[in-house]
Structure 1
Amino acid sequence: MKPQRRNTLAYAIHASLLVGLTLPLMAVAQDTQDQAKTLDTVTVTGTRIKQTNAVTAQPVFVLNREKLEQTGVQTVGEILQQLTASGQALNAKFNSSGNFGYPADGGGIGAGSAQVDLRHLGSKRVLVLVDGIRWVNESSASGVSGSADVNTIPLAIVERIEVLEDGASSIYGSDAIAGVVNVITRRNFEGTEIHSYYGEYSKGGETTEASLTIGGGGERFNAVFAASYYEQKGISSGDWEQSAYPTPGTGVRGGSSGTPQGRAIFCDPSRPAGSVGFCDPATDFWYDVTLDDGTTSPVWNPADPDAGTYHGFTGADRFNFAPFNLLLTPSKRKALFTSVNYDISDNVRLHAKALYNNRTSVNQAAPEPIFVGPFAGTGGIADTISIHEDNPYNPYGITLDANSNFGFVTKRPIEVGPRRFEQDVDTIYFNVGLDGLWNVGNGYNWDVNLVHSENKAEQRFTNGYNVAKMKLALGDPAVCAQVPGCVPLDLFGGQGRPMTQEMIDYIRTTQIDSSKQTLDLISANITGDLFAIGDRYAGFAAGLEHRNYKGEFNPDPLRQSGESQDSFAAAVSEDYDVSEVYVEGNFPLLDTLDVSAAIRYSDYSTFGDATTGKIGFRWQPIEDLVLRGTYSEGFRAPNLGELYGLTQFGATLVDPCGSTGNPGPASPDLAAGCLAQGAGPNFEQANTQITTFTGGNPNLEPEESDSYTFGVVYAPSWAEGRAWSDRLDFELSYYNHEIDGAIQARDLQALLLTCLREGGVGTVNCAGFTRQAGGNLNPPENFLDNLGTIETDGLDIKVNWIGPEWGWGRLNASLQATTVFGYEAIDIDGNKSQREVGIEVSDSAIPDWQTNLQVGWTLGDWNVNWTSRYISAVDEACSNVPVGEAPGCMGGVEFNTLGSTTVHDLQLGWRNAFALEGLKLSAGVNNVFGKDPPVCLTCSLNGYDAGTYDLPGSFWYISADYRF
């Protein structure tokens, strides 16, 4: 009968969910027909209604513990970032501290954390749940973030991960625009499991993991306890040739003008070309010089700089900072977790969970460069510094006056040592509540939860400088002598005459930043059957939730006063709360058709209220086929960082009027605009990192979204029980997301290009750009607003096959592929973002295709798994490349292509190894053939896109699990 067949399909799909296959359709049980009539109801992420149909209206991707282990990695973040639906997100490959400042969203840089992005819409638009409960956002020690650090959830406690590939604000509230990640923890665990793991990249980065899990109980009680330790060592960027010896034209080869030999841009008022006593950058002769290599005693000849120990500064003098950075940032994590369930009665259960996770991690950057003078472009104290003529190390014999004849003096003192950023992060989670069954009618399941969670971080920054002390040390020596500890500072000796320890000790300072986020919530939910429609029941779920968010960011006092050479940042201490109510229903209108609907009302203390709805359908016209679709409204409330943060961001902005190493406009259509702004035909921007003042906006409104999906699930009966196939399943899912009022700062690169094409002055797009007398850009302001409209759509393709039992074993294969049809972001001024499908920009890419293929073989206790991960080619705009003579961008070429990449992973497993029941051994290699990521000319730091591609080189590992 058809009803029985639908139950059969549902059981098969539910069974596949439990074994964690990609499609919720692959059956593993041979006795499905017999069990179909005795199905238990289940809850699948994306709906709170318990039901027998695991193929719901919305697409859900599930990885169980076995599939998690087959990835060969030991962190939730790495696993989620390998999904084909995943976009660029922060991970341990981003050595971000000290290089990017603080992004405009007020969330900081999250150094050492791992986030998850779905559909390339950003980690802030993905909701992270643990057992259906909202997880706390990270604090990052550099802001108040709107994203969760998924590595605060130890892999040792995870039973499975469910990923809803659809918007779900009406079910779960804010943030669930691009999708939901629901981590299900281990609960019904019996016995003891000891796990150990060791792995290493071909370039280092040893990884060690160990965990102990104990579970058990009695008739009315069960508990699980887990303790885990994870350590990943770092890899220096200098261990990869691309960073250590970069080829000309790569982003890292563009280098920095902050060099160990120093650089000085100034004019001598005694030798004016067209004025008296004041240097006009437009008409007078300005020196732009650096010391010759090997100089120990600088000799300056103002009439002929090349006759002394100086020469004119060129792109060849720029400093390659990459070898001081890290390809992989080191990290240690220690975690304790416990889950307890006690049956108070036959229908009421007490549940409690607690977690403590500590992470210590390190970022490292090249020794901090010193920039003083107006051309430094910091917008702070450094721009106002003058160097007195009586400074005993000043070789030029004149005062370099910030108000007249001074551009900048810069030096990168290698002798101080690299910048180090050490993070110490604690995550605490506690959940206590009741759940049970209300025996009325067919019964109603209910639960009540009280949750407290917090993420608290501290970051210690060493080998930075106090700019106010530098101003004293470079000023009048007589004034400096009256200040305890002050000694004149030498920025002129290059590597041949390093700064003395006394100088270093006076200006060097340690800075400590801290932040904390707290989430408290109380929720109540109920689900069950409403009434019968034919031989089936209409189901419903309803609930209430109240949440309180608190966020604190306490930057070091030097940052708040502007005395830090690193970045300015303002303190934040704010909170808000939200109360919500939702109701959801599922109605079997026909024998083969279900319709679902949900609505949620939210009341925020910050902006007011919002209401979102969702409708969906599930139609099974024939036994083997399910058609499904959804339409959902979504919203994302502005988080605390977006509302109240105020920071600086060191954006890598390429000046088209004369980029680093490439004087003059990038194209003829920009020349008039550049000239109008005061940047002549031979102008060259002094520094690649142009500081931007960024921050929050307390008047922000929520983002609003419209999303819809349509999918086909096909499990052909003609492929069951065949000589070549035990089961074959297909799934196609189309998605479309459109976001209005997207919270963002303007795309400065796109805005600057538009401004210059419009003539450079006098237009709305030019309002934020001003230049100094020499043509260098002043720090622009770029605050958040509801500026954007973002639209993206694409298709997920999934295929699974299980072969029959042959004498030589059983084969299985699965394919997941995502193709992105379009991605377009347009701001309120009509400027289109450079970010689109097939384009690499701002250290991230949206490939046309991402594909994962897994092939497995099992024979008895042995199994072998092979995975191939494919990323299609992307292009980067040559106009964004900071060096003119870049391979791939020569001869007027508009784009440089980053070729397609395929990485292969191999794993061998042996259960009950050496005849010891419960012992499982595994060994594997990820990136078997050591495929390097494609070289990216525009990417920061290490010359490749760390959010899209694997680390260079192979990673091998071994693991042992013993359960008894």
Structure 2
Amino acid sequence: MNTTLSLLTKNVRGVLAASAAFSVMATAPVYAQEAEESAKAEDYEQIAVVGSRAAPRSVADSAVPIDIISDEEFKQQGATDMVSMMQTVVPSFNVNDQPINDASTLVRPANLRGMASDHTLVLVNGKRRHRSAVITFLGGGLSDGAQGPDISVIPAAALKQVEVLRDGAAAQYGSDAIAGVINFVLNDASEGGSFEARYGSYYEGDGDMIQLSGNVGLPLSENGFINLSAEYRTADDTSRSIQRDDAAALIAAGNTFVADPAQIWGSPEIKHDIKLFANAGVELSDTSEAYIFGNFAEREVEGGFYYRNPHNRGGVNDGGTNEDGEQLLLVGDLTGDMSGNCPTDIVVGDNVLENPTYINQVANNPDCFAFNEMLPGGFTPRFGGTVTDMSLVFGTKGELENDITYDVSLNLGQNEVDFAISNTINPSLGPETPFEFSPGRYTQSEQTLDIDFTKPFDVGLYEPLFVATGFQYRNESYESFAGDTASYEIGPLATQGFGIGSNGFPGLAANSQGRVSRNNIALYIDAEAYITENFMLAGALRYEDFSDFGDTTKGKIAFRWQALENIAFRGAFSTGFKAPTLGQSNVRNVTTAFGTDGQLIDRATLPPTDPVSQLKGGEQLTPEESESITFGVVADFENGLFITADYYNIELTDRISTASGIALTEEDIATLLAQGINDASSFSEISFFTNDFDTTTEGVDVVANYAMEMMGGETKFSLAYNWTSTEVDRASENISDFRIRMLEDNLPAVRYSATANHTNGDWRFLARLNYYGSIFEDHLDSALPIDKVGSEFTVDLEVAYNFTEELTVTVGAKNAFDEYPDENTQYAGIAGSLYPTTSPIGINGGFYYLRGVYTF
């Protein structure tokens, strides 16, 4: 019997359980202590570790653009999941809703600086975060096929600050850092804490959300700390649908079994979302310390799927057409020897349920069967699953003789997704089919050893030359587990044209499960120094060798020049890479999508080295390669106005993505069947991962902050502005023209937010204006172009009052004026989507919330 309770799982749960037990014993004396007001801690929030391996730099002193987001900024907004929170405060960070988008429903892909979600390296306390097991097979064009980390498992309550490096950094940190790096810095307080309760709902009266979170800092002996965080959240689903044209026609024809709406477009239901984080450290001596941190998270999500029409769903109800082009009903013979003489010429008409031949020869005939008997109104599957994430990092760092500092750590991470689909069938099993399936699970595991050293050298420059060097070993594996037997079983009706496997997301067959792994080693050297008082120069070189595709060497050079007292210029040039993930190279999966004729199809994703993929152009994946330029200006004026403006240009070649759907011929299907892929007759198209196109992305980020006294209090103003443009320079025939348009124009070219946060005594008032430029959408990824989804403004409002020094209550609204994207007037009737599904402002409208925070 397979079990997910691996050694890592046991270790993580053990550490968190021991930490929780320790907190119970130590809480009483800590609660009695008053929280210390520390200017030093406040100053630290302006210092970033990411971007430089020398002494930490402030935002203004960095040679590359960095955003530092304090924990308070996360609390002052209506969003509750980490991905949406990041979009509010980082100018070039974009994410949209995923109403019906397969695995993307479980882990929403996010985009930094116009890149895919796996082009951003994620760190926690400076250590590489493992990637998710979820591959976004349908990622809205830009992130199709991406497999990045799942940052939504990180609770805001656990954070001290977040550092966002908006610059290519693969030469410093390794694969994936093409768009930049996000470093989540955990809270390291040894005393005090907070508890937060939050409730919210959409103006439409759905999507009710409840969230409880807490954090506590405790001393660990006299020279250490342990900081514990927890979060629990649930959220109801939403619906922004209209009735589909085909479903409305069925109802008009007298089919009273069709739901209204037949298909739901909206946010999925979050049945539970549990996040636990522990961070601890202790001084071993005056010059050394030990640290350990880890997490456990579990999230169960369920969302809508596409409606199956009871007249023409392929492999379920579709019996082909007659000579007159009329739709026929698929009827199965249950006798076992085809002696039932079941009719194959039943014309469905407007309502097959009223057809006398169907009533007399199928519905009232035990030898013959059609799914209209069980599901007379068709059916709409519910798709989702459970994501389980865990990590454990421990190590030691300190200072040796001769000013050499060291950091040695071991990093264990694992992410697992266990898919689930309900309200669906395995058509080949006929009337014996179950209606709920577990179609399989996937596990991504990573183990990393880091050994890092730094040392300053006095070489006669204005400041010492900081040199950092290190070694990294990483082993990773991707394992797929078969679904329950019924989810892939070949039933007795398979030879009669009925589909095989759980309809909508067929289970992974036992002969397709397996484990693949690889390892890589890396060596790097960084150097940084102020050549003169006003000119800093930095460089990095990194060599990596992967066991599955070979080695690569990347470099970076950066500068900062303080040209005037208040104005500095900065810039960088770097080369980068992203290694193909094990999942991209080896996964097998079947997804349901709309074809170009507006009908649902089953699209199989096969490894690029599979013979059928190779027949259609598939090849062994190679790394993506990038060249990145950043140039900017920093202005820090005496009146308190602080502005940074940075231009970036990223040329990315051999980008990895899924090919557009490629139709299968009868010969292709025969080849698949010969390989033992027995459900191949259910496939209409195939896809595979491929290095298939090159792009150039350029943009500008502007960040400004200003504070002033007004109306008896203090007001802080901030602006985050981004312009991004992407051009596809080369693409093979595997990438459709509509897919190219999605890559270039599905993210808003211009996005900005302007915030005013006013504090007056015990009151705080916040107003934020958000702008999203227009986009292009290929609706349903089905060659249905919406050339211009119009630009939109939204406004966020928040009012907070401190009832006591410990208790603060906040009332707020996200998208306070209930703005919606332009209605989908062209194609709404095809699948019932009232709005463009990839709209950057989402499709749910306004959201109000009430939050209470108790600090101790």
Unaligned runs of 5+ in 1: 1-30, 98-108, 246-252, 263-290, 297-316, 378-382, 401-407, 471-502, 655-684, 721-726, 753-776, 884-893
Unaligned runs of 5+ in 2: 1-37, 138-144, 321-327, 334-339, 348-356, 363-369, 491-499, 610-619, 664-681
Residue aligning to 1:641: 583
Deviation (angstroms), 1:412: 9.8
Corresponding letter in the other structure for 2:110 = V
Provide closer, same or farther for how the CA distance between residues 141 and 534 of structure 1 changes in structure 2, counting only shifts above 3 A. Answer: closer
Provide closer, same or farther for how the CA distance between residues 178 and 363 of structure 1 changes in structure 2, counting only shifts above 3 A. Answer: same
Select 1:819's aligned residue among 720, 723, 730. Answer: 723
SS at match of 2:112: coil
Select 2:242's aligned residue among 241, 244, 247. Answer: 244
Residue aligning to 1:165: 166
C-alpha distance in structure 2 between counterparts of 1:875 and 1:934, whole Å? 12
C-alpha distance in structure 2 between counterparts of 1:526 and 1:414, whole Å? 68
Select 1:565's aligned residue among 491, 495, 503. Answer: 503
When the two structures are superposed, what TM-score results if normalisation uses the length of structure 1?
Answer: 0.69
Provide closer, same or farther for how the CA distance between residues 190 and 530 of structure 1 changes in structure 2, counting only shifts above 3 A. Answer: same
Provide closer, same or farther for how the CA distance between residues 189 and 932 of structure 1 changes in structure 2, counting only shifts above 3 A. Answer: farther
Select 2:545's aligned residue among 581, 584, 603. Answer: 603
Residue aligning to 1:357: 297
C-alpha distance in structure 2 between counterparts of 1:842 and 1:708, whole Å? 21
Provide closer, same or farther for how the CA distance between residues 387 and 222 of structure 1 changes in structure 2, counting only shifts above 3 A. Answer: closer
SS at match of 1:79: helix
Choose 109-118 or 207-216, whichever is displaced more.
109-118
Residue aligning to 2:801: 910
Deviation (angstroms), 1:322: 5.7
Residue aligning to 1:522: 449
Select 1:554's aligned residue among 456, 473, 481. Answer: 481
Select 2:272's aligned residue among 332, 340, 350. Answer: 332
Provide closer, same or farther for how the CA distance between residues 590 and 361 of structure 1 changes in structure 2, counting only shifts above 3 A. Answer: same
Select 2:788's aligned residue among 897, 910, 922. Answer: 897
Deviation (angstroms), 1:123: 0.6
Contact 1:522 1:546 in 2 (8 A): yes
Provide closer, same or farther for how the CA distance between residues 449 and 360 of structure 1 changes in structure 2, counting only shifts above 3 A. Answer: same
When the two structures are superposed, what TM-score results if normalisation uses the length of structure 2?
Answer: 0.77
Provide closer, same or farther for how the CA distance between residues 121 and 812 of structure 1 changes in structure 2, counting only shifts above 3 A. Answer: same
C-alpha distance in structure 1 between counterparts of 2:46 and 2:792, whole Å? 43
Provide closer, same or farther for how the CA distance between residues 352 and 155 of structure 1 changes in structure 2, counting only shifts above 3 A. Answer: same
Select 2:414's aligned residue among 432, 449, 454. Answer: 454
Residue aligning to 1:499: none
Contact 1:362 1:422 in 2 (8 A): yes
Contact 1:216 1:223 in 2 (8 A): yes
Matching of residues 245-284 of structure 1 within 5 Å: 253=244
Residue by residue over 1:89-136, the C-alpha shift from the partner in whole angstroms, topping out at 9 and shown as x without a partner, is 475x43334xxxxxxxxxxx2432234211232111111111111112
Deviation (angstroms), 1:216: 2.6
C-alpha distance in structure 1 between counterparts of 2:514 and 2:744, whole Å? 28
Residue by residue over 1:119-167, the C-alpha shift from the partner in whole angstroms, topping out at 9 and shown as x without a partner, is 2321111111111111122223999972111111112101111111111
Corresponding letter in the other structure for 1:701 = T
Deviation (angstroms), 1:651: 3.6
Provide closer, same or farther for how the CA distance between residues 84 and 62 of structure 1 changes in structure 2, counting only shifts above 3 A. Answer: closer
C-alpha distance in structure 2 between counterparts of 1:213 and 1:193, whole Å? 5
Residue aligning to 1:228: 231
Select 1:736's aligned residue among 621, 624, 649. Answer: 649
Deviation (angstroms), 1:197: 1.3
Contact 1:464 1:511 in 2 (8 A): no
C-alpha distance in structure 1 between counterparts of 2:570 and 2:737, whole Å? 33
SS at match of 1:344: strand
Select 2:282's aligned residue among 338, 342, 345. Answer: 342
Provide closer, same or farther for how the CA distance between residues 593 and 560 of structure 1 changes in structure 2, counting only shifts above 3 A. Answer: farther
Residue aligning to 1:197: 198
Provide closer, same or farther for how the CA distance between residues 119 and 808 of structure 1 changes in structure 2, counting only shifts above 3 A. Answer: same
Residue aligning to 1:112: 106
Query: Does residue 120 of structure 2 align to residue 126 of structure 1?
Result: yes
Matching of residues 458-497 of structure 1 within 5 Å: 458-470=418-430
Residue by residue over 1:546-587, the C-alpha shift from the partner in whole angstroms, topping out at 9 and shown as x without a partner, is 111111122424338643333455434211111111111113
Provide closer, same or farther for how the CA distance between residues 426 and 141 of structure 1 changes in structure 2, counting only shifts above 3 A. Answer: farther
Matching of residues 175-214 of structure 1 within 5 Å: 175-203=176-204, 204-214=206-216
Contact 1:115 1:150 in 2 (8 A): no
Contact 1:368 1:412 in 2 (8 A): no
C-alpha distance in structure 1 between counterparts of 2:436 and 2:778, whole Å? 40
Contact 2:288 2:396 in 1 (8 A): yes
Residue by residue over 1:639-663, the C-alpha shift from the partner in whole angstroms, topping out at 9 and shown as x without a partner, is 0111111233434332xxxxxxxxx
SS at match of 1:956: strand
Corresponding letter in the other structure for 1:230 = R
Choose 576-585 or 867-876, whichever is displaced more.
867-876
Provide closer, same or farther for how the CA distance between residues 711 and 827 of structure 1 changes in structure 2, counting only shifts above 3 A. Answer: same
Matching of residues 707-722 of structure 1 within 5 Å: 707-717=628-638, 720=639
Query: Does residue 735 of structure 2 align to residue 793 of structure 1?
Result: no
Corresponding letter in the other structure for 1:631 = F
Provide closer, same or farther for how the CA distance between residues 711 and 904 of structure 1 changes in structure 2, counting only shifts above 3 A. Answer: same
Contact 1:457 1:515 in 2 (8 A): yes
Corresponding letter in the other structure for 1:711 = G
Contact 2:258 2:377 in 1 (8 A): no
Provide closer, same or farther for how the CA distance between residues 445 and 585 of structure 1 changes in structure 2, counting only shifts above 3 A. Answer: same
Choose 387-396 or 864-873, whichever is displaced more.
387-396
Higher alpha-carbon Rg: 1
SS at match of 2:267: strand
Deviation (angstroms), 1:200: 1.4
Measured on the aligned residues, the alpha-carbon RMSD in Å equals 3.8
Corresponding letter in the other structure for 2:163 = E
C-alpha distance in structure 2 between counterparts of 1:431 and 1:545, whole Å? 14
Corresponding letter in the other structure for 1:565 = N
Matching of residues 147-158 of structure 1 within 5 Å: 147-158=148-159
Residue by residue over 1:797-844, the C-alpha shift from the partner in whole angstroms, topping out at 9 and shown as x without a partner, is 2222111x34621222111111124432531359775467xx6x4998
Provide closer, same or farther for how the CA distance between residues 295 and 519 of structure 1 changes in structure 2, counting only shifts above 3 A. Answer: closer
Residue by residue over 1:378-407, the C-alpha shift from the partner in whole angstroms, topping out at 9 and shown as x without a partner, is xxxxx997756833797467999xxxxxxx
Deviation (angstroms), 1:207: 1.4
Contact 1:145 1:641 in 2 (8 A): no
SS at match of 1:372: coil
C-alpha distance in structure 2 between counterparts of 1:778 and 1:419, whole Å? 18
Query: How many residue pairs get matched?
Result: 726
Deviation (angstroms), 1:953: 2.5
Query: Does residue 371 of structure 2 align to residue 371 of structure 1?
Result: no
C-alpha distance in structure 1 between counterparts of 2:566 and 2:796, whole Å? 33
Deviation (angstroms), 1:320: 8.0
Contact 2:452 2:469 in 1 (8 A): yes
Deviation (angstroms), 1:409: 10
Query: Does residue 399 of structure 2 align to residue 437 of structure 1?
Result: yes
Contact 2:134 2:147 in 1 (8 A): no
Residue by residue over 1:51-110, the C-alpha shift from the partner in whole angstroms, topping out at 9 and shown as x without a partner, is 45542111111210111111222221111233564465475x43334xxxxxxxxxxx24
Contact 1:141 1:459 in 2 (8 A): no
C-alpha distance in structure 2 between counterparts of 1:626 and 1:882, whole Å? 48
Contact 1:843 1:945 in 2 (8 A): no
Residue aligning to 2:714: 810
Deviation (angstroms), 1:376: 8.4
Residue aligning to 2:387: 425
**Percentage of matched positions with identical amino acids:** 22
Contact 2:404 2:455 in 1 (8 A): yes
Residue aligning to 2:9: none
Matching of residues 920-959 of structure 1 within 5 Å: 920-936=808-824, 937=826, 942=833, 943-946=835-838, 948-959=840-851
Provide closer, same or farther for how the CA distance between residues 81 and 652 of structure 1 changes in structure 2, counting only shifts above 3 A. Answer: farther
C-alpha distance in structure 1 between counterparts of 2:457 and 2:161, whole Å? 30
C-alpha distance in structure 2 between counterparts of 1:707 and 1:376, whole Å? 54
Query: Does residue 521 of structure 2 align to residue 612 of structure 1?
Result: no
Corresponding letter in the other structure for 2:301 = S
